[in-house]
Every structure is written in structure tokens, then in C-alpha cells.
Structure 1
């Protein structure tokens, strides 16, 4: 008797020979980690390094894309969950993606391929032996026609399209080896073969039909359905979307928008995308950012506990999702007074912790004190020092990632600089520290937004007196480059700062560009700048919600038309 593993390799060989797609993949790799402990306030750290600026000019046209992007690891998790009910595998019950190699833009490596096979074998074994068996096969594998029916029905979902006759025959060959496996072994091997097939691991777009303009290739309805489901849900199409694809009803903008609107309304499936995107936009996935890296002195901040960090992150996730699904817009991300409170953050927000448990409870804070996500504990505690605030870290984040201003890199050794003297406030210390001529140019941009946030202590509580003893002064006079309009502004509060950011054209453009890059999985480019401009116009008009923007991502020509990359 041949082993299950042997049968699986036979199946693998069949599919690799038939579909040589493993030379390409997609995905963004985050930058390397930064171990800066943030205790020094002498320099901006890596957060002052501006990312590559997006294009400034719209270039009409459709950007070239890969025909065969590979599932991102998060998409792999969602896909096996929705297809097979599998959320964890192995003795340690890890998410499947925790066992895979990291997302990569390069070709399939031997290690990546081996691990795909190992994970697929474990999933197949557990599914066939467990309560989710019927999600793959709901008949007796020994019964006549059972496996062929399973190949066609499960294959339709796994490949996001009907299987061809040739593909069905190739899968059937798994039960025709000599010596033959048992019906159970063959069924398990068939499932594993699906999970290592290029048509499962990839999201191939192989249609060659020219679009009406003759400038690109019109995606098939099945390919559009796949784009829709992985954009909005990060997973396989549901039965309704599959039916629309089978009926070829995903060829026009109107048909696509009808499905997109329906799918966006399914909060339990779209909500994770909303939170995942906003984590990306807020740089939480950027290894060089300071999110969640900082610990604090419990003598200075007795309300601090490192064990609370996961709940602080969960609060921001809940905040972003609440803004989106309550009809909120980009500006509400910066101005909403909604917070999610539990025993870990209630006291920091000035609330009675005894009134809250471990679950997060939606509350509304004073809108003049707590506008938007930048006044939440998660940001303020991450962008502080060990026993003091950090106007430089906070100001650098706001300047670079919210306003899109490039202050330039810090001077060598900046993070180690100190200054002697007696200072009544942290602001006064930072002003003296950054006064030298080789510092002031950058810090005239970085420091002011951070000074506005000095009304929040190192873990995000309100403070009117600095721990050094002086009164907090949060007022600033901006320079002409701060908000990109050449105007000097007098700002006296976080609310006023957030209002200015919310109406800054560059900030809205960065938000639109971030959505396009995240949703489409490609770097900023001149073609997509045209879509950025369209979304920016709508963001500026008012009444344009985050969910409206998500729907509009499906209406671009580049969503349903593909252009080949030039060699």
C-alpha cells in the first residue's frame, strides 16, 4: 500500500506539470524591526524617514499587474477557514499562516513549497477525521461517483471557477494508482492535492479577451468575482457571488457595484478588512514604527501595565471599524470621540475602572479632549518615552504619515543627544535640545504637532502640569510647509490640530493612495494617481464615507481590465 504522502506527491506532480504558475507571487513585505526603546527624546528615530513619495501627476491608463498573484498568508487563513472550517492546525493549534513562510514578492522557494505541502497534509488529515469533513465531502468515498462529484463541487469553490474536464480527470487519477489507496486515503489525498494546486494557491487571471477599448484584457466574471471577494473579504466568493459569476453578470460597473454593495454590508466579513487596512495606514505593520514597542516606568505611570497592550490595540481596531460602519468618513478617523473602554484603559481615560470588565465597551468621550485615533491610549503610549512624553516621536509620526511632509533624515547619532540644564517642561527640554542649526530645520517641522499633544502624558492620560513641574503649553505657530498651503497657523489644542489634518489635501490624498495600494496590492504609480484624484475629490466634498470609498475601489477600469506588463 502506498502512503498518503506518496499519493500526494503523485497528485502534486500531475498539477505542477499541468499548471506552471509557481514563478510569481504577490504581497508586500514590511520593513525590518526597530529596537529603539524610545527613552531618548533626541531625534526622530526611524519615524522621520519619509516613505517613497507617491506620484504627483495622473497618467491616464491601466497599471500592469501580474496574471498569477499568490494568496497572501492572511488570505490563505481566511480561505481555508471559509472553505473547510479550519482556523488552526497541529498540536499547538496555530493559524495555518503561522506555519507558512512570510509573504514574498519573489518566486516560490523550495522551503515555501515544502511547507505548503506540510500544512495542506495536516489540514486534509484533520478535516477528514473531524467535524468539518462534510465541508469537503458529504458522501461515502467508496460509493460510485462520490469522488467525482466532490471534485467538481469542492473544486468549484476552491478554484473560484468551474473545473475543466481535463482538471476533473487529473484529480480522478489520484484514485487510479497501483497499488490503489483506500477510498479514505484517496479522498484525503484529493483534498491535499486541491490545497497545493496552483489554481488554489494562486489567483490566476488567464482570460485573453480584449476589452472594448482594445487597450487591455477584460477579466472574466469569475476573475472579477475573485478580485471582489479577496478585496472586500480576503477570502473566497460566497454562493451568491459565484452564481453571478457563473451567469456572467460581473462585466459592467453596475453589476460589480451591486455585488460590492451587498458584500460590504456583511460586517462580520468586511470588518476585518477595515481594521487590517487601518492598521496598515496607521503604520502598525511597519516594523520601523514605534507601535507597541514602548514600556513605561510604573512609578511615573502607575496605571501602566504591559499586559494591557493587546487590549489597547483591540480598542483601535474597534474604533476604526465603528467609524466605518457607522457611516463615518475620513475626517471622523481624526475627530470621532468614540472610544472602547475596559478595565485596562478606563482609568487612563478618567473613567471608573470598576465599572468595566475585560470586554471593550463603546463610550463617547469629551470631543474637545479626545478627537480621533491619535488621542487614544494606543497611539499616545506607543509614541512616548519610558518615563516622559516624546513630542519628537509624536510630531514625526503626524508630520510624515498624516501630513506627508518630509523633514529629512535625522543627523547621525541624534537619538543619543542630550542637553544639560533645568527645564520646567518636556517641551522646554526638547526646544533646547533641537535648537542647534543642524537640527532646527527638521525639527521646525517635526516638533510643533508633538507639542500640541503634550496635554497627554506618556501613557495617554490627560495632564495640565508637566511631571517636571511646569504648566503644559500646547499652543504652536506652524511654518508655511506644515500643512502644504503656505499659510502660518496658530493652533492651541489637539482638536484644532485634528481639524486641520482632516482638511489638509495632502493628508486626504495619502489616505486615498493607501487604500488603493492596500486593496490592489501594488505600489503607487501614475495610473493609480488618477483614481487617487477622483477619490480625493469625493473625500473633500463631504458626506463620503469610508464604505463609499471601498465601493468605489471596485469601479475603476483597472478593477475589471488587466494590462500585461512590458518585459
Structure 2
């Protein structure tokens, strides 16, 4: 049917005649292909588009497409198409996901999914003040981003627990980063897996990339860092700030160091509820400056990284805070990772009716040693990924 439709365009071009009748026919057919919605969009046929409550299971061709664009950011290969043609893709879903994760094209999960979830794309546009951070340059910026990407790729490739994103006592660094992190004895210019023992660093929350994109141009921002953790690690974004509230740096009434100014800022009833959520999380990382370098003092005072969460857990250092994330808050992190990946796979935001699917993905993670592949497969076999709802739009009478 597809070929016959295109052949009609070829015939129209030929019938118009001229010295280049055949070429014009081919040109017309190519134009038809390039302007077709089936070429420009990923099309999924809705059986009952007018009913927003109607649900149906997508067919195997649509499943192959969802799988491929989720894991590879590209069209299905011959093997996926063959399974779809034979209606055997669902029967072989786990083996196909395993195969796809081992393929080089799965690196797109790093550039696209990790870039979206961890906001790594912002590293390329971050612009610390050159007078405040003289050592920051494009080489360091590129190295920071690549470090986090390589850790993510390693966890994906080796099928390690997703919690290693927060707890890895190693990273992938080059000579430029080793100097920045104060790691001595590093030789060579390339990136390699390196122990972080003795550096007080573990996981992405101590990576230069994350610490830099969550800072202001001239100083750290505990508010931005805390907000980033709430949104991307705990999955509990704070509400928007109320209108008319003074910016921290613009309020001349606030005195003392950054921690003290934040404490005074929280005395405002309009600010206290949100900042009580964000500030302790961000202050835990005050020993890392605006470009992620370790420091003991700020504004002439010894840094106090202690805090208490609204849920009651207390900590004295960022290491103790990270232990809380990996114990008392572990389920929150797993739920957040599941939500982020499901959002990416579906290309839409999470709705209230997706909550059961997310809890099922978390259960699957917990029963599979938290492996990265269990997160991916949990998303793939979930109801939102396997089914589709009608849009509820009246597209025909």
C-alpha cells in the first residue's frame, strides 16, 4: 500500500511530461515522503481518540518504536522489526532490552536521558565569574561534564545499582580534574577510573559538574543546590516562591556569613516553609565552592555544613547527609529515578494515574539488587509504556 501510494506520485510526475518527466516523478514521490506525518512524527494510531478514558495496548510495531527511541534515540533495527512483524516482541521483551542496553547506541541514554535528568546540558552554558574563579576555563568545564557522563555510562554498561550514582567511591577523571580535586600523582592526559578515597568525594553530588551548575556566578548557592536535590534526587520539588520576596543578595538588612543570612531570610514567614526544605540540603555541600573545589572557610569563617531535615534526620557533614539519602531517603531516590526515566521514555509528564506504575518499578528495583537494567525493564513493561490513552480531542465528526 505504501509503495502503491508513492507510485501514484511518480505517475503524476511522468504524466506531466517534459524532458525530465521521470526525475520529476521521483522528486514528487520524495516530497510526499518528506512531508508525510509518518516521516515527521512517531505515529501511534488511537482506536478511540475522542474518549480520554479509553485505553488500549499499543501494537508490536509501536512497541518496537517506543523501545528504540527510548533506549537508542533512533529507529528500530532489523531484529526489532522482525519481532514486530512476527508478533514475538512482547514474548522476547527482556532479552531484547538486554541486547539493546549492550549496544553502543545505548550511549544515547547518557547524552539524552542523563543530560535531561541531571541537567548536564547546563554545564556547557554555565558562566562562573572569571575574577572570582580564575582557574575555571573551557577545559575544566568539558572535563566536569565528561566525568559525570562517564560514571553514568559505567553504571549502565556494568549494570550496577542505580544508587551508585550517589555512593560511588571512584570516578572517571583526567589530569585537569585531578588537579582541581587535589588528587596527587595522576599521570597522563586521558580519563580513567580513579579512587576518590581521601578526597571527601562520593557520587555525583560531589562532582564539579553538579556543584557548578547549582551555584551563582560569584558564590555558592545553598538554595539552588537544595532545590536541585529536591527535584532530581528526592522527587519533591518545592513550590514557586511567592511574589514580592526580596532576593538574598539584594536584601541589605541581612548580616553575617551566608549561613547566617539564610537563617535571617527564613525568619520571613513567606519564605520559611520552602527554605526549611531546601537550605539544609544545600548547606551540606558548602565545603565545595562555586566550581566544586574543596574549602574549609568562606568569608573568613569556618564552614558549618551541619543541618536537620524537616523529616527529623540530622547530620554534621555532607558525608552524613549522603548516608541519609542512601538509607532513610533511598526509596524517595528510587521513586524519583523511576519517575524521571518514565517521563523520558514516554515523552510526557507524570500523571496521577501513573503512580501505581512507578511504585511497581520501585518494587522491581528492590527485588533486583537495584540494577540499572531493572530500572529500564521496569519502565518498559509498565502499563504507561505498553498502553495508550485517547487524547479526548474531537478530531472528526
TM-score (structure 1 length as normaliser): 0.60
Structure 1: gaps of 5 or more residues: 1-162, 210-214, 481-487
**Could you tell me which residue of structure 2 aligns to residue 418 of structure 1?**
251
Residues 384/565 of structure 1: CA separation in 2 closer, same or farther (3 Å cut): closer
* Cα separation, 1, equivalents of 2:252 and 2:276: 18
The question of whether the paired residues in 2 share the 8 Å contact of 1:275 and 1:320 is answered with no
**Could you tell me which residue of structure 2 aligns to residue 113 of structure 1?**
none
**Could you tell me which residue of structure 2 aligns to residue 390 of structure 1?**
221
The question of whether the paired residues in 2 share the 8 Å contact of 1:454 and 1:474 is answered with yes
Kindly state the Cα deviation for residue 380 of structure 1 after the two structures are TM-superposed.
1.0
SS in 2 for 1:440: helix
**Could you tell me which residue of structure 2 aligns to residue 491 of structure 1?**
315
The question of whether the paired residues in 1 share the 8 Å contact of 2:284 and 2:307 is answered with yes
Kindly state the Cα deviation for residue 524 of structure 1 after the two structures are TM-superposed.
1.3
The question of whether the paired residues in 1 share the 8 Å contact of 2:144 and 2:209 is answered with yes
The question of whether the paired residues in 1 share the 8 Å contact of 2:120 and 2:209 is answered with no
Kindly state the Cα deviation for residue 243 of structure 1 after the two structures are TM-superposed.
1.9
* Cα separation, 2, equivalents of 1:216 and 1:532: 18
SS in 2 for 1:418: coil
Q: Does 1:465 align with 2:297?
A: yes
* Cα separation, 2, equivalents of 1:332 and 1:345: 20
* Cα separation, 1, equivalents of 2:171 and 2:12: 55
SS in 2 for 1:455: coil
SS in 1 for 2:241: coil
The question of whether the paired residues in 2 share the 8 Å contact of 1:226 and 1:236 is answered with yes
**Could you tell me which residue of structure 2 aligns to residue 273 of structure 1?**
109
Aligned equivalent of 1:366, options 191, 197, 205? 197
Residues 508/218 of structure 1: CA separation in 2 closer, same or farther (3 Å cut): closer
**Could you tell me which residue of structure 2 aligns to residue 451 of structure 1?**
283
Structure 2: gaps of 5 or more residues: 49-53
The question of whether the paired residues in 2 share the 8 Å contact of 1:408 and 1:442 is answered with yes
**Could you tell me which residue of structure 2 aligns to residue 428 of structure 1?**
260
Kindly state the Cα deviation for residue 367 of structure 1 after the two structures are TM-superposed.
7.7
**Could you tell me which residue of structure 1 aligns to residue 51 of structure 2?**
none
Pairing 1:52-451 to 2, within 5 Å after superposition: 164=2, 166-173=4-11, 176-180=14-18, 181=20, 187=26, 190-206=29-45, 216-250=55-89, 252=90, 254-266=91-103, 268-284=104-120, 294-306=126-138, 308-351=140-183, 355-357=187-189, 359-366=190-197, 369-405=200-236, 407-411=238-242, 412-415=244-247, 416-419=249-252, 423=256, 425-451=257-283
Q: Does 1:537 align with 2:368?
A: no
Residues 228/401 of structure 1: CA separation in 2 closer, same or farther (3 Å cut): closer
* Cα separation, 1, equivalents of 2:261 and 2:383: 53
The question of whether the paired residues in 2 share the 8 Å contact of 1:476 and 1:490 is answered with yes
* Cα separation, 2, equivalents of 1:293 and 1:413: 27
The question of whether the paired residues in 2 share the 8 Å contact of 1:275 and 1:318 is answered with no
CA RMSD of aligned residues (A): 3.1
Residues 192/164 of structure 1: CA separation in 2 closer, same or farther (3 Å cut): closer
The question of whether the paired residues in 2 share the 8 Å contact of 1:303 and 1:347 is answered with no
SS in 2 for 1:362: strand
SS in 2 for 1:347: helix
The question of whether the paired residues in 2 share the 8 Å contact of 1:325 and 1:547 is answered with no
Residues 188/494 of structure 1: CA separation in 2 closer, same or farther (3 Å cut): farther
Q: Give the structure with the higher percent helix.
A: 2
SS in 1 for 2:163: helix
Aligned length: 383
The question of whether the paired residues in 1 share the 8 Å contact of 2:211 and 2:290 is answered with yes
* Cα separation, 2, equivalents of 1:536 and 1:195: 41
* Cα separation, 1, equivalents of 2:11 and 2:176: 57
Residues 427/555 of structure 1: CA separation in 2 closer, same or farther (3 Å cut): same
The question of whether the paired residues in 2 share the 8 Å contact of 1:404 and 1:506 is answered with yes
**Could you tell me which residue of structure 2 aligns to residue 9 of structure 1?**
none
String of CA shifts for 1:106-162, please: whole Å, max 9, x gaps. xxxxxxxxxxxxxxxxxxxxxxxxxxxxxxxxxxxxxxxxxxxxxxxxxxxxxxxxx
* Cα separation, 1, equivalents of 2:264 and 2:182: 32
* Cα separation, 1, equivalents of 2:166 and 2:229: 11
TM-score (structure 2 length as normaliser): 0.84
SS in 2 for 1:199: helix
